[in-house]
Structures are given as C-alpha cells and as structure tokens.
Amino acid sequence: MSWAKLLRFWWIVPIAALAFGLIQTRERLAEEKLTSSAERSAHEKTISNFNTASEKARRMDAENALRVRQEQDAITREIVDDYEAELGRARARVEQLRANAADRAVASRGDATAVPGVPDAATGTDEAPGKDRLPVADALIATEQALQLDALIRWVEAQAGVGFGSVARLEGEGSSGRGFALTADPIEP
C-alpha cells in the first residue's frame, strides 16, 4: 500500500475513534441513568420514610399531650372534690359548734317565759376564745386556709408526678402498651 492510498482514507481512523468513543459514551450514559434512577428512588424512599416518621411522631405527641391533659384534669378534679368535701365538713362542724353554743346560752338563762323581756347585759365578748383558741369565725377562716394550702400542696405534688416526656423510642421498647415508650427527658429547643 502506498502512502497515497492511506492518505486517501485518512478519515476512517478519526471516524472509527469517534464511533468507538460514542459506543463507550452510550454505555456509560446507560450505567449513569441506572445509577441516577437508583439514587433518585433511594432519595424518594428516604423522603417517604421521613414523612411517615414525622407523621407518626406528631400523632404520638398528640396522644401524649392528650394523656397528660387527661391526667392533669383527673388530678385537679380529685383534689378539688376532696378539698370541697373537707371544707364542707369543717363548715358543718363550725355550724354545729355555733348551734351548741346557742343552745347552752339559752339553757343557761333559765327563764322559760314566752314573753320577750329585756335581754341580759353582755357578760363578755361574742364568741370568746377558749383557752389558747381562736374565736370560731377566725378558726373557720384559719381552717379554710389550711385546707386550701394542703389541697394546693397535694395538687402541685400530683401534677409534678405527671410525665411530660416526649416520645423517644418506637416499636418494642418500653412497656406503655402502645408499642412505644414515653421518657421523662426534656424536649430540647
């Protein structure tokens, strides 16, 4: 072969190289499309998992908030009912003491006449305190305040016992009966 014939078909070499490069590029492009498709699928699955977990966490937090609210309401109702019952008993006792004192005052007068007369002069102060005791009205106020403070202390202690923890672990951990555990860890901002 002569150089003239080779020079005449010089274009075959670059075209063959370009054809070879095109074939390799197409193969590489097909591989990249598969890889890109797999990455896109994995990314979409990650987003889906994140959205599912976020929704589950929102639902569990709402359930936790409802549980806390119900526990707090139950504690408040119980403490208020106990307080009102104790207050009623204290007021009934005061009324009983006042009635007994009035009965003793009538019995000590000794006149059984049906005609009203001039009342006796006061022999002392109304509701005089007993030895080292408050008058009945002041004793009632002190008792009411003591009962109120006791109820408030019980309420605060009971409210402090309510778990405000966030939902921390899912599926299989914990024994709350709902498939997740509630922790007392504070929620960090």
Round to whole Å and give the CA distance between 49 and 43.
10
Residue 188 included in any domain: no
Q: Using one digit for the tens of pLDDT, what is the confidence trace for 76-92? A: 999 999 999 999 999 99
Round to whole Å and give the CA distance between 153 and 145.
12
Q: Give the whole-number percent of the chain exceeding pLDDT 90.
A: 46
Give the pLDDT of residue 136. 78
- Split into its structural domains, the chain has a count of 1
Q: Using one digit for the tens of pLDDT, what is the confidence trace for 154-166? A: 999 999 988 877 5
Residue 152 included in any domain: yes
Residue 173 included in any domain: yes
Residue 129 included in any domain: no
Give the pLDDT of residue 175. 42
Listed residue (133, 153, 130) closest to 142, CA to CA: 133
Question: Where in the sequence is the domain holding 157, given as residue range(s)?
Answer: 14-107+134-182
Residue 9 included in any domain: no
Give the pLDDT of residue 125. 59
